[in-house]
């Protein structure tokens, strides 16, 4: 295969897909017999050793490449990295778990070229396609997701949640700087990031059942989808991570008032009640942030404790700064609500910045995989 002939790159994101590596490559070899292609696995350091299996094959087959990312997780961001790592003019993104029917790839490529499209999506919803045997609840969830996606994207798609599509690399380069790279829904991200109408084509297919391994779709993926939508709305203005942090903080404030009221009503002295409540709410906020705000850098085991301590320390200092600024403003003639709000906002940003550096330090959760 001469490099100049390279026409299509197939990006396969993997997390614990060891048993699917060989079958998916065999299928692609049959389907793409007439196309000059390469395959790029983007593996997030799977504990099951997916990357090792892929590399073993790659040593004998120059069509196969492997990117092994460490300390990072995420389907969309993995695909973006894979897409940016090829020089092929056309790029396909497909699940590695055999649920996407690879035999429609040649049709997708042909359609994209003939009609000079930006993206061709393999969709589950239009005539001929099917959701396979998806649980009814998941079909409903998928429909809800589609409705929400129309809010951020002006390009109508019958299956914006599809993880199976082919795109022109020129289109990728047009939108890549604006991608959010959050969560599972890369297609929506790609389309919603366009600054012009996107030329999209669709090819129906039947979503298959998983034979090996298991799905990584869980409740957090739904949460990440909401974060993606949020980012498409406010992205560039405010980091969505901060918004989630602030949301957790607001929730904490509400719980604080309820708990404080209850403790005082039960006869506890104000200062004791306030102290207990503060400790409880700070702890709760730490765990909520650990699960949601910093789910990609989640602390576990021993690090949970040291994280909790740095979180307490940062928040205590934050409270001090809050009081200092508020009383300064009040002393300089600001009304109490301006002083109070300014103190709150500044200490919240402080807490966010400091805990991002010390508590959920980047790379801190990095550990060699054990399997």
Helices 270-288, 240-265: crossing angle, 10 deg rounding: 150
Q: What x-and-dash track marks residues 146-165 binding ligand GDD by CB under 6 A?
A: ---------------xxxx-
205 versus 286: smaller Cβ distance to ligand GDD: 205
Q: Report the site for ligand GDD in 36-75 (rule: CB under 6 A).
A: 42-44, 73-75
Q: Report the site for Mn ion in 97-116 (rule: CB under 5 A).
A: 97, 99
Q: Does 101 bind ligand GDD (CB under 6 A)?
A: no
Rounded to a whole number of angstroms, the minimum distance from the CB of residue 14 to ligand GDD is: 4
Stretch that binds Mn ion, among 87-95, 225-233, 237-245, 321-329 (CB under 5 A): 87-95
H-assigned helices in the chain: 21-31, 50-60, 75-84, 105-114, 136-152, 169-175, 186-192, 219-234, 240-265, 270-288, 302-331, 336-358
- Residue 166, binding choice from Mn ion, ligand GDD, none, Cβ under 5 to 8 Å by partner class: none
Stretch that binds ligand GDD, among 96-104, 244-252, 260-268, 331-339 (CB under 6 A): 96-104
Q: Pick one of 28, 51, 78, 281: the residue that binds ligand GDD (CB under 6 A).
A: 78
Q: Report the site for ligand GDD in 323-362 (rule: CB under 6 A).
A: none
Residue-wise burial string across 265-302, b where 16 or more C-beta atoms lie within 10 A, e elsewhere: eeebeeeebeeebbebbbebbbebbbebbbbbbbbeee
Question: Which residues lie across from 200 on neighbouring strands?
Answer: 119
What is the per-residue DSSP string for 68-96? E--S---HHHHHHHHHHT---SEEEE--S
97 versus 101: smaller Cβ distance to Mn ion: 97
101 versus 168: smaller Cβ distance to ligand GDD: 101
Closest residue to ligand GDD, Cβ-based?
A: 163
Residues binding Mn ion: what is the number (CB under 5 A)?
A: 3
- The answer to whether 355 and 246 have CB atoms below 8 angstroms apart is no
Structure tokens at 87: 């020089």
Please give the Cα distance from 20 to 216 (Å, whole number). Answer: 15
Please give the Cα distance from 35 to 53 (Å, whole number). Answer: 24
Site residues (vs Mn ion, CB under 5 A):
95, 97, 99
Site residues (vs ligand GDD, CB under 6 A):
13-15, 17, 42-44, 73-75, 78, 95-97, 99, 161-164, 184-185, 215-217
């Amino acid at each position: 295969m001469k490099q100049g002939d390279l026409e299509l790159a197939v990006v396969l994101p993997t997390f614990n897909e060891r048993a699917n590596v060989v079958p998916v490559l065999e299928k692609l070899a049959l389907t793409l017999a007439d196309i000059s292609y390469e395959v790029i696995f983007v593996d997030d350091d799977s504990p099951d050793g997916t990357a090792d299996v892929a590399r073993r094959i790659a040593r004998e087959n120059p069509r196969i490449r492997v990117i092994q990312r460490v300390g990072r997780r995420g389907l969309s961001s993995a695909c973006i990295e894979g897409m940016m790592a090829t020089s092929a003019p056309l790029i396909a993104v497909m699940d590695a778990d055999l649920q996407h029917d690879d035999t429609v790839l040649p049709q997708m490529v042909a359609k994209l070229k003939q009609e000079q499209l930006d993206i061709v999506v393999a969709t589950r919803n239009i005539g001929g396609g099917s959701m396979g045997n998806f649980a009814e609840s998941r079909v409903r969830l998928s429909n809800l997701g589609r409705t929400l996606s129309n809010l951020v994207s002006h390009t109508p798609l019958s299956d914006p949640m599809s993880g199976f599509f082919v795109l022109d690399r020129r289109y990728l380069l047009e939108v890549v700087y604006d991608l959010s790279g959050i969560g599972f829904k890369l297609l929506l991200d790609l389309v919603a990031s366009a600054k012009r109408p996107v030329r999209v084509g669709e090819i129906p297919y039947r979503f298959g059942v998983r034979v090996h391994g298991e799905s990584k779709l869980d409740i957090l993926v739904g949460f990440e989808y909401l974060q993606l939508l949020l980012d498409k709305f406010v992205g560039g203005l405010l980091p969505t991570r901060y918004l989630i942090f602030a949301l957790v903080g607001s929730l904490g404030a509400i719980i604080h008032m309820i708990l404080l009221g209850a403790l005082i009503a039960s006869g506890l002295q104000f200062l004791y009640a306030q102290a207990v409540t503060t400790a409880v709410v700070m702890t709760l906020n730490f765990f909520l942030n650990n699960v949601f705000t910093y789910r990609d850098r989640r602390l576990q085991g021993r690090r949970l404790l040291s994280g909790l301590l740095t979180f307490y320390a940062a928040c205590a200092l934050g409270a001090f700064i809050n009081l200092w600024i508020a009383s300064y403003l009040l002393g300089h003639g600001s009304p109490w609500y301006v002083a109070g709000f300014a103190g709150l906002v500044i200490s919240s940003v402080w807490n966010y910045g400091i805990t991002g550096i010390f508590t959920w330090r980047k790379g801190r959760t990095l550990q060699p995989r054990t399997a």
